[in-house]
Amino acid sequence: MTLSPKYNAKLQREFPRLRVRWSTAREAWQLEEKIAYERTVDPNRYPRAAVDSFRRFSDGYRLLEEWGPRGIPSVDRLITGLRQGNAVRIMDSLGLANTDQWHALLLHKERQAAALRWEKDKERGREYAGEYYDSLAWAEGRTVVSAGVPG
C-alpha cells in the first residue's frame, strides 16, 4: 500500500520527528518517531518477524502507533489527536469522524451538565428560601405558621 507524499509532509510540518509508513511484514500502517540509537544492529542475525523493528532501528525511529489497512486516520485527524493525546482513540471508540463532531459532543455534554446543575440549584434554592423566610420571620418577631396548621 502507498501513502500520499503529502501525508507525511503535512504531518512533519507539525511534528518533524514523526512519519507514517506501511509495514509489509505486519500489513499495517505504523506511526514512528525519529530518535537516536547509540549502536547499530545486524538484521541478518535475527528472525524475519523482526524486519520492521530493524527497519525502524536502522532509520533511527521507534514505533508509536499501528493501524490496520483501512484504519489509518486522515492526516488532519492524526495531527489533532497527537496534539490532544488520546483523542484519536477516543474518537474511534465514540464513532466520531472529525474534530467538529468531537467538539459538538463535548459541548452537548457540557450543556447537559449545566442544565442538571441548574435544576439541582433551583431545588436547593426552594428548600433554602423556605428556611430563610422562616428564620427571618422569627428574627423579626413575626409568627411563622406552617402550611396546613391553622394559625
The answer as to whether 126 is a domain residue is no
In terms of domains, do 10 and 43 share one? Answer: yes
pTM of the model: 0.46
The answer as to whether 83 is a domain residue is yes
**46-75 pLDDT, tens digit each:** 666 677 777 777 777 777 778 788 878 888
Hey, what's the torsion of the CAs at 47, 53, 56, 60, to 10 degrees?
-100
The answer as to whether 82 is a domain residue is yes
Q: Number of structural domains, the chain?
A: 2
In terms of domains, do 86 and 50 share one? Answer: no
Residue 151 has pLDDT above 60, yes or no: no
* C-alpha span between 134 and 118 (Å, rounded): 24
* Pairing outcome for strands 61-67 and 18-23: unpaired
Amino acid identity, position 40: T
The answer as to whether 141 is a domain residue is no
**81-121 pLDDT, tens digit each:** 777 766 666 666 677 666 667 677 777 888 888 888 888 87
Give the residue numbers spanning the domain of 107: 73-121
In terms of domains, do 84 and 39 share one? Answer: no
In terms of domains, do 58 and 93 share one? Answer: no
Maximum separation of any 2 CA atoms in the chain, in Å: 100
The answer as to whether 127 is a domain residue is no
Residue 21 has pLDDT above 80, yes or no: yes
The answer as to whether 143 is a domain residue is no
Cβ-contact 63, 32 below 8 angstroms: yes
